[in-house]
Amino acid sequence: MKTRTSTRRGSRLVAAAVAALTMALLAPTSPVHAEEPNPTFSLTYDASGSTTIGAKVNASMPVGPTTLTATLDLADQRIAGGDLAIPSQVLDFSIFGIPTRATVTMTQVGEVTGTLEETAKRGDLVLTANVDYDIKISNLQARVFGIWWPLAVGSNCHTVKPVDVTVKSPAGEYFRTLRGGKVAGSYTIGSFTGCAPLNFLSIPFFFPTFGSVPINSIVPGSNNTLELQISNPRPSA
């Protein structure tokens, strides 16, 4: 008798549990609506221009040719992300009148972001874009007696913090999504780290008592400019 009673009691518990579960599944629930993201599309543009490094360098070098890939959110009028890879270039300048050259490498840190501001004329936009770069200097050489002499800056001479570069459509000029346009801006280069000094003692018979000149006394400064022409838009691969 005890066995039958236990069995019946167990059956009732299972039935009650099934009924409770069924009622819970059939009970009305409030619908949950996930916020739909804005539609975006990605375009690739050709980009080329130049940058001028001020301070005591006071020299220009080409930027590109390269490509800008941008993901555009036209509903919010913004650049949701993108890439602008800048190939390494040789910068020619002088140190105290001595012809000098160095390889400058700008490595992108984070995504390109920005805004697309509408104007009174349909399709004409004011583009503002921002991106950070780590700037590295390598292969520094000075030309003395007609010979290029290497100057020791080490293999890891780069900015302590990424350089914040912001460009914008110049006054009176506009950006068109399906055409491109010109952008320009200025940026500040901060201090470098990981650099050996510019050692002139490595050049025989040249300034034997001159000693070393650190990169941080030559390159950092706020009067640096960048100009880019963006053109030839097409769907990104």
Instruction: Establish if 6 belongs to a structural domain.
Output: no
- CA pair distance 170, 183, nearest whole angstrom: 6
Instruction: Establish if 7 belongs to a structural domain.
Output: no
Global pTM value: 0.78
- CA pair distance 229, 65, nearest whole angstrom: 10
- CA pair distance 101, 198, nearest whole angstrom: 12
Q: Which amino acid is at 145?
A: F
Domain extent for 131: 38-235
Chain segment 196-229, per-residue pLDDT in tens: 765 554 554 443 333 234 688 889 999 999 999 9
Report how many domains make up the chain: 1
- CA pair distance 203, 141, nearest whole angstrom: 11
pLDDT of residue 21: 33
Domain CATH number, residue 135:
2.40.160
- Is 106 exposed, middle or buried, given 0-12, 13-18 or 19+ CB atoms closer than 10 A? buried
Chain segment 140-168, per-residue pLDDT in tens: 899 999 999 888 788 889 999 999 999 99
Instruction: Establish if 195 belongs to a structural domain.
Output: yes
Instruction: Establish if 28 belongs to a structural domain.
Output: no
Instruction: Establish if 8 belongs to a structural domain.
Output: no
Give the pLDDT band of residue 2 (cuts 50, 70, 90): very low
pLDDT of residue 34: 58
Instruction: Establish if 185 belongs to a structural domain.
Output: yes
Instruction: Establish if 30 belongs to a structural domain.
Output: no
CA atoms within 13 A on the CB side of 181: 22
Give the pLDDT band of residue 3 (cuts 50, 70, 90): very low
The bridge status of strand 125-144 relative to strand 98-118 is: antiparallel
The bridge status of strand 78-84 relative to strand 125-144 is: unpaired
Asked whether residue 26 carries a pLDDT value surpassing 80, the answer given is no
Instruction: Establish if 22 belongs to a structural domain.
Output: no
